[in-house]
Amino acid sequence: MSADAALALGPSSGLSEPVRLPSPVTESRLAQIALIAIAVAFLAFFLLLPLIAVFAEALRRGVNAYFASFTDPDTLSAIWLTVVVAAIAVPLNIVFGLAASWAIAKFDFKGKSFLLSLIDLPFSVSPVVAGMCYVLLFGAQGYFGHWLDSHNLQIIFAIPGLVLATIFVTFPFVARELIPLMQEQGTSEEEASLSLGAGGFRTFWSVTLPNVRWALLYGVLLCNARAMGEFGAVSVVSGHLRGLTNTIPLQVEILYNEYNFVAAFAVASVLASLGLVTLAIKSGLEWRYGDQISAAHRH
C-alpha cells in the first residue's frame, strides 16, 4: 500500500467509529473521585462534625434544658455585653476603615505602603499579644495606670478595654475589603463629580460610598462576626468578672470549665448560629454582587 492510500484510509476509518478521547487537561475519573472524596472527608471531619456536635451537645438534655441555659443572668449579661462591644467597635471600624481605604486608594502620599502594612498588623500579631499591650498601657501597673486611677477611669477589666481590644483585632476587615475595590475603581468618577460642581462631601456621599456599598456591607459582616467571636485579646483585658466583663466566648469557656456542658454548648450554639447566618449572608452577597465586592478576595 502506498503512503497516499494509507492517508486516504486513515480519516475514513476514524469517521465510521468516533473514539471519545478524554480531555487532555482533565484528570482521570479515578483521580477525580479520589480528590473530591479527600476534600469532602476533610470538610466533614473538621468542619461539619464539630458544628453538629455543638448543637447535639446543646440539645442533649432536650429543648427545655437548652433554653434554661439562657435564663442564667451571667449568660444573659455576657450576651448583652458582646452586643454592646460589637455595637461600639464595628461602627468605629467602619469609620476608620472607610477613612483609611479612601486615603490609600484615592490619594498618593509618602508612607502609603507603611500604612498598608500597619492595617495588616492585627492579622499577623497574636490577639493575646494585643491584649497584653493594652494591659501594659492602661492596666493598674501600666504606663497610664496611675493617671487613669487618679482620674477614676477604668479601662482594663472594664468595657473600654474590651472595646479597644476588639477594635484592634477587627480593624483590617473593613479596610481590607474596600482598598482593592476602591483602587480598581480609580478616581475618575470622583473627578467627574467635582467637574460637575459637586463638593467633596457630596462626592463621597453620592459617588464613592454607593460604589463600595456591597463591599462595605461584606466587610462589616466579617468584622462583626470576628468582633463577637474574639477570644484571645478580650480574654487578657477582661479579667473574667462574672456578669460584668465576660463576653460570650469567655462565658462559654467558664461554663465548660465548670463541667456545665449543656449550658456551655447552648451558649456556643449562639456563636455558631451567628457564624452560619454570617456565612449565609456573605454567600448571598457574593452570589448577587460578586463583581462589586472585590477584585481580589482574601477571606
Partner 1 sequence: MELKIKNLRKDYGNFPALNDVNLDIRSGELIALLGPSGSGKTTLLRAIAGLESPDGGQIFFGDRDASRQSVQERNVGFVFQHYALFRHMKILDNIAFGLRFGQGRKRKSEAEIRRKVLELLDLVQLNGLEGRYPSQLSGGQRQRVALARALAIEPQVLLLDEPFGALDAQVRKGLRRWLRQIHDETGHTTVFVTHDQEEAMELSDRVAVLHKGGLQQVGTPDEIYDTPATPFVYAFIGDSTSLPVEVHNGEAIFEGRTLRIGRVDPPDGPGRLHIRPQDVSLTTPAEGVVRGQIIGLRRSGGYRRADISVGVKHDRVEALLPPEQEVSVGDQVGLEFRRYAAFADDKEPPKLGLAREKQAA
Chain residues binding partner 1 by CB under 8 A are 188-189, 191-199, 202, 206-207, 210-211, 213
Of 102 and 231, which has the nearer Cβ to partner 1?
102
Of 191 and 258, which has the nearer Cβ to partner 1?
191
Residues 196, 91: Cα–Cα separation, whole Å: 31
Q: Buried b / exposed e across 200-223, counting CB within 10 Å, b at 16+?
A: eeebbeebbeebbebbbbbbbbbb
Residue 154: Cβ within 10 Å count: 14
CB of 205 to partner 1, least distance (A): 10
Of 163 and 181, which has the nearer Cβ to partner 1?
181
Of 154 and 211, which has the nearer Cβ to partner 1?
211
Residues 73, 77: Cα–Cα separation, whole Å: 6
Q: Buried b / exposed e across 3-38, counting CB within 10 Å, b at 16+?
A: eeeeeeeeeeeeeeeeeeeeeeeeeeeeeeeeeeee
Of 118 and 192, which has the nearer Cβ to partner 1?
192
DSSP per-residue letters across 89-152:
HHHHHHHHHHHHHHHHHH---TTHHHHHHHHHHHHHS-HHHHHHHHHHHHSTTSTTHHHHHHTT
Three cell numbers at 106? 484615592
Q: Which residues, other chains included, contact 117 with Cβ-Cβ below 8 Å and sequence gap of 6+?
A: none
CB of 254 to partner 1, least distance (A): 47
Helix (H, G, I), strand (E, B) or coil at 28: coil
CB of 185 to partner 1, least distance (A): 8
Of 194 and 244, which has the nearer Cβ to partner 1?
194
CB of 289 to partner 1, least distance (A): 11
CB of 211 to partner 1, least distance (A): 6
Of 136 and 285, which has the nearer Cβ to partner 1?
285
CB of 221 to partner 1, least distance (A): 20
CB of 282 to partner 1, least distance (A): 21
CB of 283 to partner 1, least distance (A): 22
> Cα 25–27–28 angle (5° rounding)?
130
Of 107 and 259, which has the nearer Cβ to partner 1?
107
Residues 58, 269 contacting (CB under 8 angstroms): yes
Residues 155, 137: Cα–Cα separation, whole Å: 10
Three cell numbers at 188? 475618575
| Residue 234 DSSP one-character state | H
